[in-house]
């Protein structure tokens, strides 16, 4: 409880014990305490390495991979994840999809003045737990505070360092006509979960994000399939459609998909129908597409099935020589339809 205010008291309540203030980013005692008590203590305990300004990580053998990504999401929490899980999973996945094993992460926080500590702590707890589960320590970090209105609660950036497996070079250029396109699980879950939470669409049960780390399944696929695994990509913004367009462009082939084969949870389907969204364009955060030499399709699927991050893997189509359109969809009506490239995030529609 606040003490009754005297008439001379500052009219602006000081809430530094409950919320982030500009002072928390100004390099003084408050900032030191914040980092020590609310970040390092949590990340340091749950991770092998000690969290610091500049971590010394020793010698890394092999082909080093680096990836960086920033995370902004509104709301910060949604069913199936939060900005913290995204920041850990997202960067791990970027490394994993490039064929690298993640070794360390750094974490940079940009906080909006007035952010309640309760929210801050929840996110840090989530980051610590996620990094711990993934077995990837967070070794260095930074904190900045910006004035109210200059950020939406908090923005995160993570940078990941990893090392490539063998000399295997995965790339969309390796895709051959006839290769199978496999998707690792039900699509469109993340985009629908965030949209439903942000726009208060009040679905029951609330749709959940697929936020998950893919480094373990990626490593297993690489070792099981070798060069028969041509390439992988997590289908984040722009969804599966964006991945297929990128691959079509890089490989100069066409990507053909049978719409009926796309794994889709019934609830995702229901929401997509209701809001007029095409699930192929909706974002995922732990679901990926892999291009696989067709005779190894079954092997790839059985590897995926041993990982909880993969829901219900399924072959959805194949690569073939390009006629005209880069990406084609069969909707069961005879001819194939060209699928356009995602332009901007889809908005729910009534028309």
Shortest Å, Cβ 320 to another protein: 8
Query: Count of CB atoms within 10 A of residue 266's CB?
Result: 8
Shortest Å, Cβ 347 to another protein: 3
Q: Which is nearer to another protein, 37 or 340 (CB)?
A: 340
Interface of this chain with another protein, residues 161 to 220, rule: CB under 8 A: 199-205, 207
Provide CB contacts within 8 A for 244, sequence distance 6+: 181, 255, 257, 289, 326, 327, 339
Segment interacting with another protein (CB under 8 A) among 24-32, 75-83, 217-225, 331-339: 331-339
Shortest Å, Cβ 92 to another protein: 30
Segment interacting with another protein (CB under 8 A) among 3-11, 134-142, 220-228, 343-351: 343-351
- Quick check: 241 binds another protein (CB under 8 A)? no
CA 266 – CA 271 distance, rounded (Å): 9
Nearest to 44, CA basis, from 53, 32, 54, 36: 36
- Quick check: 270 binds another protein (CB under 8 A)? yes
**Under 8 Å between Cβ of 184 and 313:** yes
- Quick check: 275 binds another protein (CB under 8 A)? yes
- Quick check: 1 binds another protein (CB under 8 A)? no
- Quick check: 271 binds another protein (CB under 8 A)? yes
Segment interacting with another protein (CB under 8 A) among 104-112, 177-185, 212-220, 329-337: 329-337
Shortest Å, Cβ 134 to another protein: 30
CA 101 – CA 168 distance, rounded (Å): 13
Q: Which is nearer to another protein, 63 or 325 (CB)?
A: 325
Q: Cβ-count burial of 122 within 10 angstroms (0-12 exposed, 13-18 middle, 19+ buried)?
A: middle
Shortest Å, Cβ 175 to another protein: 18
H-type alpha helices, 11-82: 29-33, 41-46
Which of helix, strand or coil describes residue 337? strand
Shortest Å, Cβ 75 to another protein: 14
Query: Count of CB atoms within 10 A of residue 86's CB?
Result: 29
* Residues 276-315: x where in contact with another protein by CB under 8 A, - otherwise, as a string: x---------------------------------------
Nearest to 89, CA basis, from 302, 292, 284, 247: 284
- Quick check: 79 binds another protein (CB under 8 A)? no
Could you write out the three-class secondary structure of 137-185? CEEEEEEEEECCCCCCCEEEEEEEEEEECCCCCCCHHHCCCCCEEEECC
Which one of residues 269, 294, 305, 312 is an interface residue with another protein (CB under 8 A)? 269
Segment interacting with another protein (CB under 8 A) among 36-44, 84-92, 131-139, 321-329: 321-329
- Quick check: 129 binds another protein (CB under 8 A)? no
Q: Which is nearer to another protein, 81 or 342 (CB)?
A: 342
Angle at 64 between CA 60 and CA 65, to 5 degrees: 140
* Residue ranges binding another protein (CB under 8 A): 199-205, 207, 265-267, 269-271, 273-276, 320, 323-325, 331-338, 340, 343-344, 347-351
């Amino acid at each position: 409880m606040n003490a009754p205010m005297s008439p001379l008291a500052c009219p602006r309540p000081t809430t530094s014990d409950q919320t982030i203030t500009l002072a928390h980013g100004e390099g003084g005692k408050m900032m030191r305490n914040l980092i020590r008590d609310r970040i390092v203590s949590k990340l340091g305990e749950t991770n092998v390495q000690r969290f610091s300004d500049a971590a010394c990580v020793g010698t890394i053998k092999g082909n080093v991979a680096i990836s960086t990504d920033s995370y902004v999401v509104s709301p910060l929490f949604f069913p199936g994840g939060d900005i913290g899980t995204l920041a850990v999973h997202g960067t791990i996945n970027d490394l994993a999809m490039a064929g690298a094993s993640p070794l360390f992460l750094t974490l940079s926080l940009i906080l909006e003045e007035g952010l309640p500590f309760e929210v801050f702590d929840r996110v840090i707890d989530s980051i610590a737990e996620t990094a711990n589960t993934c077995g990837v320590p967070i070794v260095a970090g930074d904190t900045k505070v910006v004035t109210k209105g200059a950020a939406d609660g908090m923005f995160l950036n993570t940078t990941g360092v990893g090392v490539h497996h063998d000399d295997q070079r995965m790339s969309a250029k390796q895709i051959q006509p006839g290769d199978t396109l496999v998707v690792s699980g039900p699509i469109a879950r993340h985009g629908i979960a965030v949209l439903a939470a942000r726009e208060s669409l009040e679905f029951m049960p609330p749709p959940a994000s697929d936020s998950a780390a893919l480094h373990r399944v990626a490593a297993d696929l690489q070792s099981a399939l070798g060069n028969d695994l041509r390439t992988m990509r997590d289908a984040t913004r722009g969804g599966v459609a964006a991945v297929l367009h990128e691959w079509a462009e890089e490989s100069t082939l066409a990507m053909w998909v049978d719409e009926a084969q796309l794994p889709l949870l019934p609830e995702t389907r229901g929401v997509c129908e209701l809001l007029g969204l095409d699930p192929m364009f909706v974002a995922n955060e732990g679901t990926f597409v892999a291009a696989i030499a067709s005779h190894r399709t079954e092997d790839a699927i059985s590897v995926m099935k041993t990982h909880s991050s993969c829901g219900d893997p399924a072959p959805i189509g194949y690569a073939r020589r390009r006629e005209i359109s880069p990406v084609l969809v069969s909707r069961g009506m005879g001819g194939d339809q060209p699928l356009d490239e995602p332009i901007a995030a889809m908005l729910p529609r009534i028309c």
